[in-house]
Amino acid sequence: MQTFTVPISTSYKIECWGASGGQPAGLGAYTNGYLNLSDFYTLYLYIGEEGKNGIFSHDESFKSPNSGTFNGGGGFVLPNDDNNNSQGGGATDIRLQSGDWNDFNSLKSRIMVAAGGGVHFSGEQSYGGALFSPNYDNTFPNSNYTTAGIGASQISGYKFGIGQSGGRVGAGGGYYGGNAFVEDSNYKVGVRGTGGSSFISGYPGCDAIDESSTEDNIVHTGQPNHYSGKVFTNPVMIAGNASMPKPKGGTETGHYDNGYAIISWISPTL
């Protein structure tokens, strides 16, 4: 976690890039918006960690169960002799309250979230979503593996802020994290982790939660504005399968690597 203390009362452009999952990588999403902030106000930045993998690195740690990545990317729960496992990518977000990355009171203070990507072994990438990430149907119908996965939305996913750890791969973090394991007696191992969903306070279609929400009782308000009253203007949300700005200039299709955040001073308030 990093902090940003506002140096002067003015408008700020805030940009976030979610992290990519391990190989084969689903790419991270992008968000931006403008927010008026008063001097000495503090924001808390949680930058998603890129998913690691043993597919090409032959990392011995990927032969045994492995935890997920910072800020919501899932890990995997089953051993594999050939290291053929990968973690999901963490989300990048802006919070009004500090705490451990998975602390619920800190998570519910998020006013912007750029989703992390999941991991896939066949078909379309498990990219970090915008308002939602896509579902995937099974493509290995006659094997011991399933590539089916249920995406995240504004009101559902594996958990609020947390991507699921799967059999062989992890899902991406996000407003809601993606899913990586389908409960199906016909399959032994899940081999696709979906991406998470993104969120921007004030973005049409987002569904903010009420301040009274608890980890066991999340109450959605049906409207996009965060309970803090911090609402972005001119918000932009781009899923990880589309063209977006690169953090250091130019464009990219989805974000590959660790997450990133940029806060830009626009102009003083007169």
Cα–Cα dist 35/15, whole Å:
11
- Residues 115-140 pLDDT 10s: 999 988 666 679 999 999 998 876 66
Residue 270 clears pLDDT 50, i.e. is over it: no
Contact in structure between 104 and 215 (CB atoms under 8 Å): yes
Contact in structure between 135 and 124 (CB atoms under 8 Å): no
User: Mean pLDDT lowest for which of 56-65, 110-119, 220-229?
Assistant: 56-65
Question: For residue 8, what are its two tokens?
Answer: 């002067």
SS (H, E, C) 115-177: CCCCEECCCCCCCCCCCCCCCECCCCCCCCEECCECCCCCCCCCEECECCEECCEECCCCCEC
Give the pairing type, strands 251-253 and 243-245: antiparallel
Cα–Cα dist 129/126, whole Å:
9
Segment 211-235 mean pLDDT: 97
- Residue, of 188 and 203, whose pLDDT is higher: 203
User: Average pLDDT over the chain, rounded to whole?
Assistant: 90
Hey, what long-range contacts does 139-144 have (CB within 8 A, 24 or more apart)? 140/191, 144/187, 144/188, 144/189
- Residues 55-87 pLDDT 10s: 666 677 777 778 899 999 999 887 776 677 889
Question: For residue 67, what are its two tokens?
Answer: 């935890």
pTM of structure:
0.93
* Single-letter amino acid, residue 19: A
Range 64-92 burial, b when 16+ CB lie within 10 A, else e: eebebbbbbbbbbbbebeebbbbbbbbbb
- Residues 140-197 pLDDT 10s: 656 666 666 889 999 999 999 999 998 888 999 999 999 987 655 555 566 688 999 9
